[in-house]
Amino acid sequence: MKRHPLTFSIILTLIAGMVLCAVPVQGISAQTSFFMQSEQPLYSARTSDYRSGYAAQYSAVLRTLAGGAKPEFGSVGGEWKVLALARSGFYPTQSGCFSEYYAKIEKLVAANGSPKLHPQKSTENSRLIIALSSIGRDARSVAGFDLTAPLGDFNYVKKQGLNGVIFALIALDCNKDYGMSDIKSQCVDLLLSRECDGGGWTLGLGAAEADITAMAITALAPYRKAAAAIERGVEKLSALQNANGSFSSGGVETSESCSQVLVALSTVGINAHKDSRFIKSGNSALDALCAFYVGGGFAHMANGGANSMATEQAAYALCAYDRFLSGRSSLYNMNDVSPVSPAEPTDKPTPKPTGKPTAAPTDAAPSDAASSDAAYSTAPATDTAATDAAYTDAPATDAVPTDTSAASTSPNRPSFEPDATAEIETTDAVSPRESASAQGSDRTKSGSRVFDVVIAAAAVCLIGTAAYFVIKKRNRRQ
């Protein structure tokens, strides 16, 4: 009879051991898995309710941009790439990638010998001002030249029609220190005077177009006097949305038009994935953009291959949406960017990208109130980087059209420049760096499971040993 308690205790010990084996594997592994995910690049640790796969595609497209050629001055492969990588937080502003880019810009501006980068296209200056501001560089002091100065000539700005006006407003408003309130006021007034009947904007004299309307909305977002026009523009965008949730340019569904709409809606505090005005047949504006995703990039048109311009625009559009969700300052509000000293060396090696957001996103829908006197918003949240200066957040499309006549095509269409239509070589296969990272992750997970089992086994041994001595002592007494 004395052996029954011992047998019973051994059985209890075994049961306890089995429980302990299960608990650590689930509990400790869960903890380990959480930390592993939080250290992986970009947004793999996030959870979301988006059936569009926005987080995964956002992560992939940023890796594509970072893995491509180093940025150079230009409407493709240059400033918009820098903007996406900087505002997403993929690279810190002090990174070698951006330092090398800035060194190239200094040489280019010095060789030009003038702050005016093109005699006809003010958007050359505007685009560069936006990119430099996103990496903490002062556009007023580049190789001894003030790149904002040419935008002080409104006649020069108007040479490119609405496109020039929109991006001059964006560039001057992205940093409160750039000033030029008179020029910005003229830009706002001209945009308001060019509103189409029934709302919206167009480059020519015809009906409102989705991409130009979106860009105008984003540019006007900080200005209270533009609130009514913005609201009409938003309603026009809803009316222009196709049955599948997408948007068209020149009668053709394009990802670039979807990108501009996503930036605009994010700027004025509208959730492009949840607002009923932008959900058609169950597809949101966000879903529509993500439908153009292909092998690490984005196509210009449906069923096409990855396209450089489309990929860059989609990258910063998803960045704009991501910043909106997480309550950070909007895409073009650079007032949250810490300035980088011009005396900093520009030959630093490019460090491994941090790939971590500056703030964890939430599913809230904060607006981006960019200025204290006139930020248009449909949501009550305010911009944490708000200042007393007007701030503009126009979507970054290709700001360099080759023709500004009424017959010219939209600046979102890659046909403008030969290199804009170059296909990005992408496949479903991961890069060597990604493959090594994935293998390392698998090894870490495997190691954590082995560690869990060892801990559980040790716990079983300790409990069994303790039970043995307790029972042995009790048997002696009996």
Closest of 124, 129, 126, 152 to residue 142, by C-alpha: 129
* Token representation of residue 16: 């306890």
- Alpha carbon distance 268, 371 (integer Å): 12
Q: H helices of 203-306, where?
A: 210-220, 227-240, 255-267, 285-290
Q: What is the pLDDT of residue 354?
A: 46
pTM exceeding the 0.75 threshold for the entire prediction? no
Q: What is the pLDDT of residue 443?
A: 38
What distance lies between CA 433 and its chain's CA centroid?
A: 22
Residues in the chain: 478
Closest of 375, 361, 353 to residue 328, by C-alpha: 361
Domain 54-428 has CATH 3.40.190.10: no
Q: Cβ of 143: how many Cβ atoms within 10 Å? A: 16
Range 234-239, long-range pairs (CB < 8 A, 24+ positions): 234/265, 234/268, 234/270, 234/277, 234/378, 235/199, 235/277, 236/196, 236/198, 236/199, 236/200, 236/208, 237/200, 237/210, 237/213, 237/261, 237/264, 237/265, 237/278, 238/277, 238/278
* Token representation of residue 270: 């509208």
Q: Please identify which residue in the block is written with the tokens 């239509």.
A: 421
- Alpha carbon distance 254, 271 (integer Å): 20
Q: H helices of 136-254, where?
A: 154-158, 161-173, 181-193, 210-220, 227-240
Question: In this structure, are strands 252-253 and 248-249 parallel, antiparallel, or unpaired?
Answer: antiparallel
Instruction: Answer for the pair 349, 96: CB distance below 8 angstroms, yes or no.
Output: yes
Instruction: Answer for the pair 463, 16: CB distance below 8 angstroms, yes or no.
Output: yes
Q: b/e for 60-93, b at 16 or more Cβ within 10 A?
A: bbbbbbbebeebebbbbbbbbbbbbbbbbbbbbb
- Alpha carbon distance 84, 338 (integer Å): 17
| Burial (CB count <10 Å: 0-12, 13-18, 19+), residue 270 | buried
* Token representation of residue 71: 């940025």
The H or E element that residue 357 is part of is: none
CA dihedral 75, 124, 129, 257 (to 10 degrees): -50
Please state, in angstroms and as integers, the Cα–Cα distance from residue 352 to each residue in 66, 69, 148, 226, 393, following that order: 10, 16, 32, 43, 29
* Token representation of residue 11: 């059985």
Q: Cβ of 118: how many Cβ atoms within 10 Å? A: 15
DSSP line for 53-95: -HHHHHHHHHHHHHHSSPP-SSTTTTHHHHHHHHHTTSS-TTS
Could you state, in chain order, the average pLDDT of each consecutive group of 10 residues for the chain (478 residues)?
A: 50 53 37 27 34 79 95 96 96 93 98 97 98 97 97 97 97 95 97 97 93 98 97 98 96 96 97 97 96 95 94 97 94 94 50 44 34 38 31 32 31 31 34 35 43 58 65 58
Q: What is the pLDDT of residue 418?
A: 27
* Token representation of residue 63: 């890796």
The DSSP secondary-structure symbol of 307 reads B
